[in-house]
Structures are given as structure tokens and as C-alpha cells.
A and B are shown apart, each in its own frame.
Chain A
Amino acid sequence: DTGVSQDPRHKITKRGQNVTFRCDPISEHNRLYWYRQTLGQGPEFLTYFQNEAQLEKSRLLSDRFSAERPKGSFSTLEIQRTEQGDSAMYLCASSLIQGHEQFFGPGTRLTVL
């Protein structure tokens, strides 16, 4: 399968714990995006990378959130000191260049107890 993959698919954690998610984009795509989706809402942009450079971060991305894309391949999204409001589906997408369609992974469902 050559689509976008995400790991884990589900994560349950206690409030205050740190969690890390991984995204592997489509191999030839140089852009990688993170979105967050809550029930009944569309995905909301968090941040994006072009190759290894993080070029934009949403104001939704508090200082508890950090994302990396070392070597311009896979990306990780870490949430420190999780809060119940962080419970959501975290989606990763990749694309060739700006303005082109973004292909999404299956998402990581985070539940903070």
C-alpha cells in the first residue's frame, strides 16, 4: 500500500501524560500536513512541512504541541501534558506541491481521560 500511514490508530491516555504520533507520507510527496478533527466538524489545520522545514503553524497549535519532520520523510506530532480538550482525531496528509490535492491517512484517534 503506497498511501499515507499513521501510527497508532488509537491512543488512550490519562490527562497530563505525553503522547507522540507518527505519520508516513506518500514517498514522493514533499509537503506534509497535520490536521485535527472533532466530532461533527471538518478537519482544522495545525501545521505543515515542506521537506524538513516547518513553514506554518496554526494558532490552534499551543506550545504543548510540537511537530518534526527529520530528513523530510516521516513526521511526528507530540502533545505534552495532555488535556481532555485534546481528545480528537489527528489526521496527517501529504501532497506534491501547493494547490495540489492532499491525500489523508486514516488518522489517530486520541482519547484523554
Chain B
Amino acid sequence: EDQVTQSPEALRLQEGESSSLNCSYTVSGLRGLFWYRQDPGKGPEFLFTLYSAGEEKEKERLKATLTKKESFLHITAPKPEDSATYLCAVGTASKLTFGTGTRLQVTL
């Protein structure tokens, strides 16, 4: 059974304090590792897809990296508007399997 584990469950950062979120996974037939951002009461918003170990992608203050068993979402100099739940998911031929997310709060 496909499994995704995210850590930490919650993270509180001060503005400008960089950190990383972890996503470890086991899956049969990986068709991509996906990162989403979700604000309260809204649907997940797509951020990145990574397909192979060693791949990296960046968007503004976020950078996602992938190894054979883990992915990291690095947040550099975060701002309060980066506060959200960050979800990691593994994709197979038919579906996404999500972790429970990391709730990030960035304070002034």
C-alpha cells in the first residue's frame, strides 16, 4: 500500500527564518511526487511536480527536492503570507496518495 509521511506536523517560524519540510514515501509505480499548498477552507493549490531523484524545482521562496525515498520543501526567508498547510502526495497511474500535511505558521 502506498504511504506518505510528512514531518513535522506543525511548524512555527519567524519571518525570515528558513526551514525545511520533509516528506517520506513508499509507493509502487511512482508517476511523480507532488507538492500542494492548502489554505483553510479551500482546495489544494498545485506547487510542484518532481519525477526523478535529484530533480529540483523552485518558485519564489520555495524549493522542492527529491531523492529515492524522500522529498524536501525548503522555505527561504518566509513571509506571513506563506502560512498554510503544505501537502505532499505521490502519484500513480490512477490517483494521488497524500500525507497529512505540515501546518506552517510564519509570524512577524
User: Residues of A with Cβ closer than 8 Å to B?
Assistant: 4, 33, 35, 40-45, 48, 55-56, 91, 93, 98-107, 109
Instruction: Specify which of A41, A44, A98, A102 lies most central, judged by the most chain B CB atoms within 10 Å of its CB.
Output: A102
- Binary contact track B19-53/A, C-beta < 8 Å → 1, others 0: 00000000000011010100001111110010100
Query: Chain B residues with Cβ under 8 A from A107's Cβ?
Result: 41-43
Q: List 15 A-B contacts (CB under 8 A).
A: A4-B43, A33-B95, A42-B89, A42-B99, A42-B101, A43-B98, A44-B98, A48-B94, A48-B95, A56-B94, A98-B91, A99-B51, A104-B45, A104-B46, A105-B43
B97 CB–A CB distance under 8 Å? yes
B96 CB–A CB distance under 8 Å? yes
**Does A103 lie within 8 Å of B46, measured CB to CB?**
yes
Query: Chain B residues with Cβ under 8 A from A35's Cβ?
Result: 96
- Report if A104-B95 is in contact (Cβ < 8 Å); known contacts: A42-B100, A42-B101: no
Number of interface residues of B (CB under 8 A): 25
**Does A41 lie within 8 Å of B100, measured CB to CB?**
yes
